[in-house]
Structure 1
Amino acid sequence: MPDIAAPRDSRASVLYADEHKPLTLREAWRVLVKSWPFVSRYRRLVALKCALVFVSLTFFLMTPWPLKIVIDNVIDGHPLTGVPGAILTPMVGDSRSGILVAVSLFLVLTVILIGMVHGEAQALGTNVNSGGLDQAGITANDANDGGSLWNGLFGYLESRITIDLTQRMNQSLRTAVYERFLRSPLALYADQKIGDAVFRVMYDSASIGPVFYRGVLAPVMSVFMFVMAMIVLSFQFSNEPVIVVVAVLFLPVIAIGSSLFGRALRDQSQSMRESGSDVMAAFEERVAQVQLIKAFGQEARETAVVDAASWQSFRSTLRMLAIIFVLMIVLTPVSCVLVGYALYYLMMQVIAGRMTLGDIVLLASYGSMLANPMSIIGSTWASVQGSVAGLRRVHSVLDNLPEPVGDGRGDGLSARIGNLEFDGVAIGYGATTVLSGVTMSMRAGEMVALAGPSGCGKTTLIHSIPRFVEPSAGTIAFDGVDSRAVAPDTIRARVGFVFQNESLFSTSIEDNIRYGSDSASLADVREAAAMAGAAEFIDGLPDGYATVLGRRGARLSVGQKQRIAIARALLRRPEIIVLDEPAAPLDPASESELLKTLTALARDRIVIIVAHRGGTLGVCDRVFFVHGGTIAASGTHAHLLATDLAYQAYLAQSAAEIPA
């Protein structure tokens, strides 16, 4: 096991502490503002999308008129008045056949452009059917939200643009979160649930699309449509102001009702996302530990755990639906009163002869047409609450996982690193200090070892070399250059690392060895494998270096995986090689061959080994004994064994626990 000393408090819990606080209106607005750059960077596609939307709306606003004109002016023979009169009279005069031809041409053009003849807009979405009634299933649609309202030529163009825009927005945010996880301090993963990280990357990041489409474009489009419709109705029915007043009253009714439920929707959406994240984390952890589960016969128990987490996610969704249902119960009676009054008033106007049948058809069409825009305008804030909750989880990562960088002075490193120095270094996690007062130096041409009891901080110490963790005090310097003045990528390109618990990708052996050295030839790969003592068993495989490994290299033994990992590090020809207990899984013969290789490599570079075995320590030029939270002693293995009682006790215990 790695001997990283873990703090008492979960770093992941501290990292995401703000997510457990209520999402206030001010915080929600701040999240939306921070998310806008992921939309605005695609301003050209946004502009094209908006242009097609508004051009299409212009045609759509005119679709209720043909039926009114046919009824009133073609069938009943009434003269053209109002908006139709202003447009058609100069073109066709009072000719009924001319009016019919003009209306028919308009309908044909409308069908070609927006695919609509009358009625409500038909949605042509880019979304897919969800996989279930939980947050993950719902978000599967959110990630593909934002289709076109039309199905004609404009609809085709708009759908193409929408698919491109939606993918780019989602991809940019998803990639930013994923990269931040990859570049985050290594210590985060001691407490971070991998399933939770995956949920944030795959599902929470998909909230950016709904925020733009439902929170920006849909309300702007609806306002435009509502205002234009009100202008047309006011012009056409200038002597009937009641019609416009009743239509406008729908907005405050829906807006007030939605705002009252905004807080409940935000909080419940946050709960849904946390429950969905728990399901994924529980499933991921148990799949990773399937061998242990089978060994102890706990399949039924662990299935029940995942089943319980899944049901909890489902119940969170049901609570969200209950809130929406209550919202509908509150709004529906008031809306019905307004609709009932409007119908009564219109019928009385028809009876009195002040309105025609065509007028009623026109108003009914506009009423049906405006129902959705009015609902969107009034419920915009409520509709984006779920997405805001998801974006807050995304920005928890973007805001709280900074990547350490250099101070901008350039790397300043020499052509080849010759010295590595620790001066008064202290390293810890949060309030917990693992090591303090660490002072030691290493130079090219020697192989040094770090020894000490499990849990004393050896792995933490070597992780500080490539800046996986940062010292809280003191300096780590390469040839006199403070590591904090050098970008992490620059350091890591010159440090070869072999971790204690190695994992391999489920690709070929050649690809695994070449990982991080894409330009290396097959001959280089073979040479590195030979140096690591891996060439013999690789050549014995049916497909040799083309052998495809299983998940995490499951088809290889522990020792074979370790040798491939060592070959991977050697292929980069690093100036510093760090190996965390490389000989632990090896047999004595393989260990002896590995030590010969490392001794040869140490002639012109720094080789650092974390080791417990006396045989490995004896080959090293110097041993740094980590004990009591610092470097307690240093010297050759023989010198420490002869002079340091704590070192003697440590070796005796190691000899009893680890076969020589």
Structure 2
Amino acid sequence: MPDAIAQRDSRANLLYADEQAPLTWREAWRLLVKSWPFVSRYRRLVAIKCALVFISLTFFLMTPWPLKIVIDNVIDGHPLTGVPAAILTPLAGTSRSGLLLAVTLFLVLTVILIGMVHGEAQALGTNVNSDGLDQAGITANDANDGSSLWNGLFGYLESRVTINLTQRMNQSLRTAIYERFLRSPLALYADQKIGDAVFRVMYDSASIGPVFYRGVLAPIMSVFMFVMAMIVLSAQFSNEPVIVVGAILFLPLIAIGSSLFGRALRAQSQSMRESGSNVMAAFEERVAQVQLIKAYGQESRETAAVDAASWASYRSTFRMLAIIFVLVIVLAPVCCALIGYALYYLMMQVIVGRITLGDIVLLASYGSMLANPMAIIGGTWASVQASVAGLRRVHSVLDNLAEPVADGRSNGLGARIRNLEFSGVAIGYGATAVLSGVTMSMRAGEMVALAGASGCGKTTLINSIPRFVEPSAGTIAFDGVDSRAVAPDSIRARVGFVFQNEALFSTSIEDNIRYGSAGASKADVREAAAMAGAAEFIERLPDGYSTMLGRRGARLSVGQKQRIAIARALLRRPEIIVLDEPAAPLDPASESALIETLTALACDRIVIIVAHRAGTLAACDRVFFIHDGTIAASGTHGHLLATNRDYQAYLAQSGAEIPA
């Protein structure tokens, strides 16, 4: 078990180390496969979108024929042959005007269904109206993609389906990442930049849409279109195989050219995303520390730091554009040479009478049509590089961040927790040991304290009770049940926590107290507030329990915020109450009132207090003194004061009053 825990902690500490390695095509393929479940769960929408796409493609492939028929059969008077004759002769006969009417009606129907050929289909999209080139702006558009290749009735329907599908895929992946961050070990947040985590949740999650559209659907659609066009051209120009072969040769040319730049595009895409997350992290951290920045007059310095990070993000984007520009420069001359030769060859065939002007129009239309699918087929690998880079950042979270769960060896805890026991417990972060050989026991009906110098491991020790931190050795047991055999959620439902740094939301006081106990009544909220000594000041506020708090409760004093946090813990009616230095922000009178409350609560539950003040320590039934990385002594405050020199020195150093 300890080896498994150490391995998991190691994975958490090295969460993003693998992102620095080059992204190979094997890993890219693995990421695409692993992302497929987030698409396949919406099979119905995928099926509807595919149906609309392929029906629209069928109409699109037929659009070049009316112009050929008008030139060859209506204007020049050539008789209809082949498939057009089989379809149109029964409808229009041999009349040129009838043939023109049939062709016109077909074009009107096509415009209604799929819009004008090569029209501005993006007008149907829902992209964010931003011209920014930063990665956040680009991926915001990916997250809201609802565009269609068409702008008629089918285009409208497809856009609506695409919007729905994109949002559902993106939301499911975004929620999965967010939940994984919430359930990750607390040790992760010692090194994790919050801005980077937000970027992964908000923007990297948007990679799932482009992966499906550009990496799966677009290539399939393009292959279908390319194959159908080749079938039509082979049938129509069976006596001119050079035309068909020339059209086919464009595909490998574009594919080879795009693949040559794949690695550079992948690497630069990764760099773009890292630069984007750095901007968000820099901004988030400085907003969180705005009071410190103002106190030291560093506004200009910190503004310059965020500005530098933002420009670094833009430079990363411009480097990506430069790579794409070079790709175009390399391929464009070759493509232009082939197109020029093709035009010369076709015109010569018209001169000698082997093909007609209508055939030229048909070939030009199909050539224009095939340019896009050929570019999509050949450039698929290049086009998904940015998305694959985002997916790697997504799956770094999904693969590596996981909270420990019960191993199934126990049926869980009893009706009430009566005893909490530490046996030879060692705790640390990664390879750094904080505590070792910790052995102590606590029972319901007593209030105990953890004392020791700052940084000795008191907070780490209490964080191990609800499995925020896992021991690397020894056991923590509730009524004899190893905590590792119980799911963390089951333990946390029985433990009430009051943190050293108050944690309040920008909602009402009542909502903050009720947090974690959504079903509690108003009477329960008021009872908990009274027990915590918060009812009096809350009721004096103009809006009482409905008073809205500012950011982190900025409208309240430190002591008031602490009492609301205590009320929130008490509302859950926990069997174990853990308070991390609850009296630190309180005046002596408030501390005395709080101790009275906690003493009353300890009559039928375990109350654990991390404390420095002699008054708080003296009120506890027992004190566990942490020194030199372990429990050095335990007993009442008076006993330790009389027998332990290290305890005396600790109290003297902390500034507490030592009675004679």
Stretches of structure 1 that go unaligned for 5 or more consecutive residues are: 1-8
The match for 1:595 is: 595
Determine the C-alpha separation between the residues in 2 that align with 1:614 and 1:216.
67
Q: C-alpha displacement at 1:82, in angstroms? A: 3.0
- Residue 105 of structure 1: CA displacement? 2.4
Deviation at 1:35, TM superposition (A): 1.0
Counterpart secondary structure, 2:171: helix
Aligned position for 1:401? 401
Q: CA 1:636 to 1:536, structure 2 compared with 1: closer, same or farther past 3 Å? A: same
Change (3 A) 1:424 1:191: same
2:253 corresponds in structure 1 to 253
Per-residue CA deviations over 1:531-565 (Å, capped at 9, x if unaligned) read 11111111111111111111111111111111110
User: Which residue of structure 2 aligns with residue 571 of structure 1?
Assistant: 571
Asked if the contact 1:495/1:576 (under 8 Å) is kept, the reply is: yes
Query: Distance in 2 between the 1:604 and 1:150 partners?
Result: 70
Query: For 1:444-593, what aligned pairs fall within 5 Å after superposition?
Result: 444-593=444-593
The one-letter amino acid of 1:122's match is A
Secondary structure of 2:32 counterpart: helix
Find the residue that maps to 2:164 and give its secondary structure.
helix
Q: TM-score, normalised by structure 1?
A: 0.96
Aligned AA for 1:133? L
Structure 1 120/112 Cα, relative in aligned 2: closer, same or farther at 3 Å? closer
Which residue in 2 is equivalent to 1:292?
292
The question of whether the paired residues in 2 share the 8 Å contact of 1:64 and 1:119 is answered with no
Structure 2: runs of 5 or more not aligned: 1-8
1:308-331 Cα offsets, whole Å, 9 max, x none, are 000111110111111111111111
Matches within 5 A, 1:128-277: 128-130=128-130, 132-145=132-145, 147-277=147-277
% identity of equivalent residues: 87
- The answer (yes or no) to whether the contact 1:119–1:365 under 8 Å persists in 2 is no
The CA distance in 2 between the partners of 1:354 and 1:582, in whole Å, is 94
Counterpart-to-counterpart distance in 2, 1:503 and 1:402: 23
1:411-445 C-alpha deviation (Å, 9 max, x unpaired): 52111111111111111111111111111111110
Residue 98 of structure 1 and its aligned partner are, at CA, apart by 2.8
Tell me which amino acid in the other structure corresponds to 2:190.
A
Give distance in 2, aligned partners of 1:131 and 1:345: 43
Work out whether residues 134 and 276 of structure 2, in 8 Å CA contact, stay in contact via their aligned partners in 1: yes
Alpha-carbon distance between aligned partners in 2 of 1:365 and 1:146, rounded to the nearest angstrom: 27
Residue 84 of structure 1 deviates from its aligned partner by 1.4
Q: Structure 2 length normalisation: TM-score? A: 0.96
CA contact (8 A) 1:534 1:563 kept: yes
> In the alignment, what sits opposite 1:3?
none
Report the CA distance shift for 1:175/1:380 in structure 2 as closer, same or farther (over 3 A).
Answer: same
Q: Which residue of 2 aligns with 1:24?
A: 24
SS at match of 2:425: strand
Provide the secondary structure at the position in 2 that maps to 1:15. coil
Any idea what SS the aligned residue of 2:437 has? Answer: strand
Aligned twin of 1:106: 106
How has the CA–CA distance of structure 1 residues 86 and 242 changed in structure 2, closer, same or farther, with 3 Å as cutoff? Answer: farther
Aligned ranges 1:349-388 → 2 under 5 Å: 349-388=349-388
CA contact (8 A) 1:286 1:302 kept: yes
2:425 and 2:474 in contact (8 A); partners too? yes
Counterpart in 1 of 2:4? none
Query: How far is the alpha carbon of 1:478 from its aligned partner?
Result: 0.8
Shift of 1:491: 0.7
Contact residue 83 and residue 235 of structure 1 kept, 8 A: no
The alpha-carbon distance between structure 1 residues 551 and 273, as it changes in their structure 2 partners (threshold 3 A), is same
**Residue type of the alignment partner of 1:414:** G
The CA deviation string for residues 241-275 of structure 1, in whole angstroms up to 9 with x for no partner, is 11111111111111111111100000011111111
- Structure 1 CA distance, aligned partners of 2:353 and 2:640? 111
User: Do the aligned partners of 2:68 and 2:361 also contact (CA within 8 Å) in 1?
Assistant: yes
Shift of 1:378: 0.5
- Output the CA distance in 2 between the equivalents of 1:385 and 1:181: 25
* Cα distance in 1 for residues equivalent to 2:556 and 2:290: 17
CA shift for structure 1 position 11:
8.4
**CA apart distance, 1:90:** 4.1
Show the 5 A alignment for 1:312-461: 312-408=312-408, 411-461=411-461
Q: What is the DSSP-based 3-state SS (H/G/I as helix, E as strand, rest coil) of the residue aligned with 1:491?
A: helix
Q: Is the 8 A contact 1:618 1:638 kept in 2?
A: yes
**Is 1:65 equivalent to 2:65 in the alignment?**
yes
Does structure 1 retain, via aligned residues, the 8 Å contact 2:11–2:400?
Answer: no
For 1:294 and 1:657, the matched residues in 2 are separated by: 36
Task: Say whether the 8 Å CA contact 1:134–1:276 is kept in structure 2.
Answer: yes
1:122 matches 2:118: no
Shift of 1:203: 0.7
CA deviation after TM superposition for structure 1 residue 96, in Å: 2.0
RMSD of aligned residue pairs (Cα, Å) = 1.7
Cα deviation for residue 631 of structure 1 reads 0.8
Contact kept? 2:424, 2:439, Cα under 8 Å: yes
**Partner SS state of residue 192, structure 1:** coil
Q: Specify the SS of the correspondent of 1:323.
A: helix
Partner of 1:53: 53
